[in-house]
Amino acid sequence: MTDKAYETVMARKNQIMSDSLQINYADFEGEGISFDYEHMMNSVAYSMDEMISIQRELGVGNTPIVELKNMTQLARKYDPAGKGARIFIKDEAANASGSFKDRRASISCYHAKKLGYKGVVTATSGNYGAAVAAHAAKLGLKCIVVQECFDSKEVGQPEIVEKARKCEALGAEVVQLTVGPELFYQFLKILEETGYFNASLYTPFGIAGVETLGYEIKQQFDRQVGQQPDVVVVTNAGGGNLTGTVRGLRKAGNTSSQIVAASVDLSGLHMASDEDFNRKSFTTGHTGFGIPFSTNPDRSDVPRSAARPLRYMDRYVLVKQGEVFFITETLAWIEGLEKGPAGNTSLAAAFALAQDMDEDQIILVQETEYTGAGKSVQPQLSFARDNGIDIYFGDPDEEVPGESIVLPKDPGLIKARDLDLNQPKRSRIRTALAQSPSSANFSPAEWQFLAEEINGSIEDVEAFVQELTGGA
Amino acid sequence: MVKKGEWVQISAVVLTAEQRAAQVPEDTKATPLIMWVKGYLLEEEAEVGQEVMIETVTKRRVGGTLVQVNPVYTHSFGRYIPEITQIHQLLADALEGGAENDG
C-alpha cells in the first residue's frame, strides 16, 4: 500500500504532478534559475483560433461590453471640469458558470478529455471550482473540487459555502477543509488515488484560456466604440487574469492600453491563520494573494506558473473593503447590474482613476462575476458584523483589515492607492537571489530572464541586486 | 437510524495538530486539519457519530465520522444591514445633484 504520510506524499509531488499534467517542465528550464516562458506558452497551449472554437462549444466567451453612463456621471461630480473618463465593464458574468474562470477551465477540461483522463481535480475555493465543474459536466468528466472552507470552529466563509453549493449543483464532489496550506497535501493524495487530471489554475492552458478575453476586448472596442481603452483595470490575485488578458490584448494588436492591477487591501491579515480566516470579507482579489503571487509566481501548485503578472502590469493600486462594498451597491442601484466582488474590486479602483483622466478617454474594468447568497454585500456585511468587525461610514483610509470596514461617507472619498511597483519588483529579485546558488553571479541568460520577470531592463535588475546585496 | 444508500456528510481528521506542516502559523497549528465530504452511506445502518464508509459522486470510497444525514445548505443573505439602505439614500442624493450639473 502507498504511504500516505504527509512528508512521503509531499516527497512524491513531482511524480504526481507529472502523471496528472503530462507537461515536461524540464523542457523549458534554462540556465540556473531561468526558464523559457514563451517557449512553454507556445508549445503547450492552444492557438487563439482553437481556443475560441473550444470555448464557443462550451458556452464561454463573446461576453458583452457595457458602458456605465450613470457611474461615469457620478464620478464626474467629484473631479474638475473636463475630467472623468467613460467607464466600461466587460460582463464576464455572462459566461457559462458566471465568471471569467470559465475561460481557464474550459481549456483545461478540454485538454484533460483529449488526453483521455476520466476526471479532473482542482484546488480552489473560488469561481474556478464552479467553472471546472461546469465544463467537466458538459464533457462527461468526473470532477473533484478541494476547497478551504471552514475555520476550526466549523464556521464557513459565506462566499465559499455558496461556492460549494454551486460546485455540487454542477455535479462535482466537493472536499471541504479547515484552514491551512496542507490543502495541497490532500489535493495530491486525491490526484494520486484517482489518476485524474490536475486542472490547476496555473498551467499554460489555464492562462492561455484567458487570452481570448483580451482578444475580444480589442475587437469589441474597435467595432463598437471606435477607440481602444486608455486604461484596463484588472483585479489581481493569483495573476492569471491579468497575465492572460494582457497577452490576448497584445496578440490582437493593442499595445497602447495602460494595465492597472487592483487588489483589496487586506494587509495585516495572515492567509494561513485560523483566527484571521473569517475576519476578512473578501476571499480573493486581495493583497494576501496578489502580492505574493506577483513577487514569487512559482509558489503555485505547478513547477512553473504560467501566470506571471509582474511582466504585464504598468501600475498596481489598492482599494479598501468598504469601498468595494459601496461600489457594488452603486453598480446595482444606478446601473441595474448586480455583480460579485471580484470585478467590483477593479470597478472601485476605476471609479477613482477615471477622475484623473480626460472625458474623452476610456477606462475598462475587464470582468464581472455572478453573485448571490453568500457572495453579495448583505451576507458579507452581516457575517462581518457577527465576527465583531466594526462597520461604519467614514473615510475608507481609516479601515483596518480584520477590525473595521469603513464605507465611504461620500463617494468622492473612494481612492486608488498606488503601490510602488519597485516593491514587488525588488521582492521578485530577492526571491531569485535566494533561489540561485550562484547568488548575484547570474549568467547572461539569467540576467535577461530576470529583466523579463520585472518588465524592465538588465540595468534595473542590476540596481536591485546591488541594493539587496549591499553593493557587494 | 440511517440506512444504506442515504445521502450523508462525514468528517475526518486529515492531520492532527501534531502532524501539521512546519510553516503553518501557531494559531492554525493548534488545531487539526479536518475534512468534510458527502456521499451515499455504504453501511447497512448507522447512527450519527459512528465511523462509516461512503461512496461519493465520483465513486470514491471515503471513511469518516457520520455528521449529517440529508445535509442542507445553511448560508443565506444574512440579517438586515441598515448601512446598505443608507448607501442607497446617499446615492439618490448624490445623483440628484448630478442631474442639476448636467442641466
CATH of domain B2-74: 2.30.30
> Tell me: the pLDDT tens digits for B48-85?
999 999 999 999 999 999 999 999 999 999 999 999 99
CB contact under 8 A, A74 and B95: yes
Whether pLDDT at B5 is above 70: yes
Residue of chain B whose alpha carbon sits nearest to that of A325: B84
> Tell me: the pLDDT tens digits for A338-384?
999 999 999 999 999 999 999 999 999 999 999 999 999 999 999 99
CB-neighbour burial class of residue A153 (10 A; exposed 0-12, middle 13-18, buried 19+): exposed
Q: Which B residues, 20 through 79, put their C-beta within 8 Å of a C-beta on chain A?
A: 20-21, 23-25, 27-28, 30-39, 56-60, 73-79
pLDDT confidence bin for B97, thresholds 50/70/90: low
Instruction: Tell me the domain boundaries of chain B.
Output: 2-74
CB contact under 8 A, A194 and B60: yes
Where is average pLDDT lowest: A457-471, B34-48, B58-72? A457-471
Mean pLDDT, rounded, for A91-109: 98
What pLDDT score was predicted for residue A3?
84
| CA separation, residue A225 to residues A128, A331, B31 (Å) | 31, 21, 55
CB contact under 8 A, A6 and B19: yes
What pLDDT score was predicted for residue B99?
44
Which among B8, B23, B27 is the top mutation candidate for probing chain A, defined by the most A β-carbons within 10 Å of its own β-carbon? B27
CB contact under 8 A, B87 and A77: no
Whether pLDDT at B102 is above 50: no
Mean pLDDT, rounded, for A88-93: 98
> Tell me: the pLDDT tens digits for A233-278?
999 999 999 999 999 999 999 999 999 999 999 999 999 999 999 9
Q: Are B53 and B40 in contact (CB under 8 A)?
A: no
Whether pLDDT at A96 is above 60: yes
Interface A-B: count of C-beta contacts within 8 A: 157
Chain B residues within 8 A of A274 when measuring between CB atoms: 25, 27-28, 30-31
Percent of chain A with pLDDT over 90: 94
Whether pLDDT at A37 is above 90: yes
Mean pLDDT of chain A: 95
The answer to whether A181 contacts chain B (CB < 8 Å) is yes
Residue among A274, A381, A409 whose CB faces B81 most closely: A381
pLDDT confidence bin for A42, thresholds 50/70/90: very high
Mean pLDDT, rounded, for A150-157: 95
Whether pLDDT at A45 is above 90: no
What pLDDT score was predicted for residue A439?
66
For residue A403, give the C-alpha cell.
477590525
Which among B31, B79, B80, B84 is the top mutation candidate for probing chain A, defined by the most A β-carbons within 10 Å of its own β-carbon? B84
> Tell me: the pLDDT tens digits for A176-217?
999 999 999 999 999 999 999 999 999 999 999 999 999 999
Chain A residues within 8 A of B86 when measuring between CB atoms: 393
Whether pLDDT at B100 is above 70: no
The answer to whether A32 contacts chain B (CB < 8 Å) is no
For residue A253, the distance in angstroms to the closest alpha carbon of chain B comes to 37
> Tell me: the pLDDT tens digits for A115-138?
999 999 999 999 999 999 999 999
Dist. CA B33–CA A176, nearest whole Å: 10
Residue among B77, B94, B98 whose CB faces A378 most closely: B77
CB contact under 8 A, B14 and A177: yes
The answer to whether A73 contacts chain B (CB < 8 Å) is yes
Chain A residues within 8 A of B77 when measuring between CB atoms: 373, 376, 378-379, 382
ipTM reported for the complex, 2 dp = 0.94
Whether pLDDT at A232 is above 80: yes
Residue among B75, B84, B94 whose CB faces A162 most closely: B75
The answer to whether B94 contacts chain A (CB < 8 Å) is yes
Whether pLDDT at A435 is above 90: no
Residue of chain B whose alpha carbon sits nearest to that of A193: B60
